[in-house]
Amino acid sequence: MKKIYEQLCVYDKRSPFFIEDKDWPNRQPRTNCSCDYCFSGKDKLALIIIDLIETLEKCNEAFQLTDMIDKTPWRVCYNGKEITVYFDSVKICISSIICG
């Protein structure tokens, strides 16, 4: 998850590269921002990934599938094709896509 948080806007307090703008103390992340992460779209993708992982973790807790979640296949439709993925694979794949 650390590498995903590294892709957030520099004005997002969750980012390890957080910058506090003293001239604009109430600055909101992503608002009129042209940092590398916002400009390249990495911030937007990181937010989607963080939301996806948090949702999967909530599902894991809700259904108490702690031991099974990594082994349970998930059917996903991608570009009109159905593929099977596993939770662990999704985390690894998503991390490699966003972090290179």
Phi, psi of 16 (to 5 degrees): -65, -15
Kindly report, residue by residue over 6-46, the tens digit of the pLDDT: 999 999 999 999 988 888 778 889 988 889 999 999 999 99
Closest CA to 84 of 97, 95, 69, 74: 74
Using DSSP, state whether 43 is helix, strand or coil: helix
Burial of 6 (0-12, 13-18, 19+ CB in 10 A): middle
- Over residues 67-79, the pLDDT tens digits come to 555 556 666 655 5
The model's pTM is 0.58
| Higher local confidence (pLDDT), 78 or 96 | 78
